[in-house]
Chain A
Amino acid sequence: MNRRHVTLIAKKELRGLSQERTILLAVLLQVFVAVFSSFLMVGLTSLYDPAALSRSVTTEYGIGYAGNESPLLARLEAADGVRVYPMDLSTALQALRERKLSAVVHSPDTRPDGEEPVKLTLYTLQNDLTASVLNVRLKEVLGAYEAELRELRADRLESTPIPLRLPVPRGAEFFEFVYGLLVPLLVLMPAIIAAALIIDLITEEYQQRTLETLLATPVTFTEALWGKVAACLVLVPLQAGAWLGLLGLNGIRVAAPVEIVLHATAASAVLVLLGALVSLHYRERTSAQFVFSTGLVVVMLLALAMPANPLNLIAQLSVGAAGAGHWGVLAGVAAFALLLGWVMTRYARVVARAFVEG
């Protein structure tokens, strides 16, 4: 195999990509996903955990309190971000309908240490975001009230949980979402794009009937294939690196970027070579894409079901929790890619011979 020929083909394919400017779409896609996911995160944080956005002005919410007097009233008065008005239920509900209150709580006359549970009624406005924000704020107050009531009824409990005092965590709202899900999946995306690309590059030669022209040049079929594979693979570390850079701009620091890019590249070598084999077999885009995509889902699910899979390792690497064992997995994936490469080379020779003979 002539290395110059391989580079020549790789350069030709990359030039084609940059001329069509379709690669711009891939970049745009990255930015879109990054923006969307970070927006979604900010939104979810502010929605479910308003305290997390402490810089924004904390508005006070008016709450009407109706029914029996209870320790809850004092607890609500002491709580941050809410202002309580003891009121008559009918008046309070009308005020709520006129949006002069954000919620109304009704407390029954159940005895705190009675047999029956204390049933609070919480009135909020339909389809209103303040309702969900308020639920989060009330959760803590009501939880403390629940603990107080539970204490009063403690003699009726049979077992007590092992005690554990936990401080309130600061920050880290989306640590696991970012490092345990977003980082591994984003790093994998370039690999999937590369695999889709190799299928296009190979089936296009068959379907546009440009293969004969290509084989009329001094470049052999095997060299051409490897050139295409190389062109697809070169893009992976670039894209994965760009992802990590974008995450960095978003304030998400990733611990071991080099190792992560290596894992992504090795995994995509496997996917790209599988894609190449499938397209050599089917020679037609629709079938090849279909078989490959279904196979991809199978492979992904299988990998995820196993401990220490590359995606899990990428997550561990990104938080700096991976041991030296990940090098072993990397070597294993790389060895598998080499095996696939050997199979592809053999297969390409068979295909080329058949092509020349007619």
Chain B
Amino acid sequence: MHPVLTIAKYELLRSVTQMRRDLLPVAVGLFLLLVLVTGFAAESGMHLSDGLYTIGVDDHGLATIVAGDPRFVVYQVDGATLARERGAYDLVVIDGQARGAATPRGQAALKALRNDYAGYVAAVYSAEPDLFAAYPLWVDAEELRSELDFEATGAGQQVGLRPGTGAPVPEGTIEQVTAPPAGIGVTAEELRRELVQDASTDDRLARYTDVLQSGTMGEYRTPAQLSPPLPFDSIVLIFVFIFPLYFSSQFFMMAIMNERIDRRGEALLAAPVHPALLLLGKALPYLAGMLLVSTVLLLVLGAPLVILAALLPVILFFLAAALLIGMTARSFKELSFVSIFFSTVATSYLFFPSVFANVHVIALVSPMTLVVYALQGTPITLSDYLYSTVLFYLVSGVLFFAGARNFTEERLFSQSRPLTRIREFIGSALSDRHPYASLSLLSALLIPFVFMAQMMALTLFFNLPMPWSVLLLLVAAAFIEELAKSLGLYALLAKRERFRSWRVLVPAAAVIAIGFLAGEKLLLLATLAQITESVFGAVLFTSLQALWMPLLLHLAGVLIVGGVVLAGGRRAYIPGLLLATGVHVLYNLAVLRGAIG
């Protein structure tokens, strides 16, 4: 048998025999309970925002409409009394006129009432026999692809859509199009069915935000359905997929941690197998288990199995991160905190972009958007797949490499501080005999992390209004790049006394800059074409237009950090980093000004 399989078998046996005998029945029992409770919760609804508002109504019919909404505590009182005691309610309705109290709560109550009333009106209208009298206006939304990509803006064209005084005159040749037919081509009954279906999915997340319209993307929409739909059901399903994966990766994390308790892993380390194969064998049962769980979930939900392809990079990423966390945590507490922190950040990265799945291409930074697409039936192209998963594959690969490289007695059983350990982990990737070559390689290997962190910043800042989003992104992107470039250098300077000189620093900075630029170029060309087309792309990747300018910029950044550390010692690292970031931001601003004007 192949050594990897032997170790996998051993790992599987160990985890089965180490379990207490009652764990399996308890787990099955809990699972059954979970199914029961889920059924019960679905039946009775979630009571999270019950009774937030009080409303006084003088009309029985209107009171019945509101009574169906648990957010309201409804009082039916006659109009005169209501007018006198208005202050006692968040909202009063007298003679068909609603008035909300001038508090946030009163206004929110008003908003809730508007939604409820709109739902009621829609229910009345969609039951009309003559649907086209009740809904006389339908909108057919067509999307065009712009001919103007972002590169064109560099040539002096305007990005913004500021209208001038007269009607705009296109420069290109006008392609004659025939006017769309006036007929709708769908029967009223089909449209009615969509309307009813839409109403039933209307109140869930919309309750919390009130601005999001959830709904099926039918061909035709009424004006009320015009906002882009939030893929709510699919987003909930994302959690159904992420949680089991997160759990299973916890088991792997613990299996690695267990090898370190009482130096139990000595036997494993003594095996005549390469550490990479050892880790592969140990991870195999968990990988198989996670794939199995996902497949079962997909089959139960009746979802397309293509989703597995989108989940695979996420699974690998979770496993690789679990490996490193399990190798570095000093105690169970630290393991818990680090893994909770990691999972929150990772889940945000995976989850939040997919909220925008139907709005903007930026959503594709998360593989979970692919899951949403697959569930919705939106076709996925190969370039979409590459674009949203390649970073996950690369980062997992590099993390796994770091784990294998450091899977030694010295690293596993050390109890130094986390920051020291990180430095040691990076340091062991640097070879003593070929310091320059390994520095260059290291900075190229860090590129996927840089991109991932920048994407994280992008999803975070993308939400802010325009000037702020770009500015914050600029600073964050510069900081992340300078940090990544200086990490290897810092580890090298801390590792060996003999490297601490200007004679080493200058060539070291040069090879780092070259490695970084090469990695950046390669990865960008391969994948990120879609992002680079948008204005955010210009902010993140300004340093890519010409080759020698960014090379100088990268070189200057590393030299600044290295020089400050040489002059001021290791404590000067942070100030040096900030200085380099400042220079980087100024450079980017200058380039952007030239590009956008």
Contacts and interface: CB of A to CB of B under 8 A. Distances in A.
A119 B30 contact: no
Interface string B86-127: 000000010011111000110110111110010011001100
Interface string A266-302: 0000000000000000101111011101110110011
Contact of B108 (A23, A91, A115, A175): A175
Interface of B is mostly: mixed
Contacts of A123: 142-144
- How many B residues touch the partner, as a band? 35 or more
Nearest to A113: B136
Contact of A290 (B184, B247, B348): B247
A90 B146 contact: no
Contact of B137 (A101, A102, A118, A180): A118
Contact of B98 (A166, A171, A286): A166
A25 interface: yes
A26 B338 CA distance: 9
Given A119-B184, A176-B208, A197-B333, A157 B222 contact: no
Given A108-B180, A291-B30, A164 B117 contact: yes
Contact of A20 (B53, B160, B224, B334): B334
Given A93-B177, A125-B145, A46 B465 contact: yes
A284 B331 CA distance: 14
Interface stretch (A3-11, A310-318, A335-343, A349-357): A310-318
A200 B250 CA distance: 13
B37 A301 contact: yes
Question: Which one of B49, B107, B110, B125 has the greatest number of beta carbons of chain A within 10 Å?
Answer: B49
A76 to B, nearest CB: 13
Interface stretch (B163-171, B274-282, B503-511, B541-549): B163-171
Contacts of B254: 285-286, 289
Interface string B255-282: 0001001100000000000000000000
B432 interface: no
A169 B223 CA distance: 20
Interface residues of A, number: 150
A109 B182 contact: yes
A115 to B, nearest CB: 7
A311 B48 contact: yes
B57 to A, nearest CB: 10
Interface string B236-261: 00000000000100110010001001
6 contacts: A90-B177, A121-B140, A125-B143, A139-B223, A166-B117, A312-B50
Interface of A: 16-17, 20-23, 25-26, 28-29, 32-33, 35-36, 39-40, 42-49, 53, 56, 59-62, 64, 66-67, 83, 85-87, 89-91, 93-102, 106, 108-110, 112, 115-132, 135-136, 138-139, 142-143, 145-146, 149-150, 152-154, 156-167, 169-177, 179-181, 184, 193, 196-197, 199-201, 203-204, 207-209, 282, 284-287, 289-291, 293-295, 297-298, 301-302, 304-309, 311-312, 315-316, 319-321
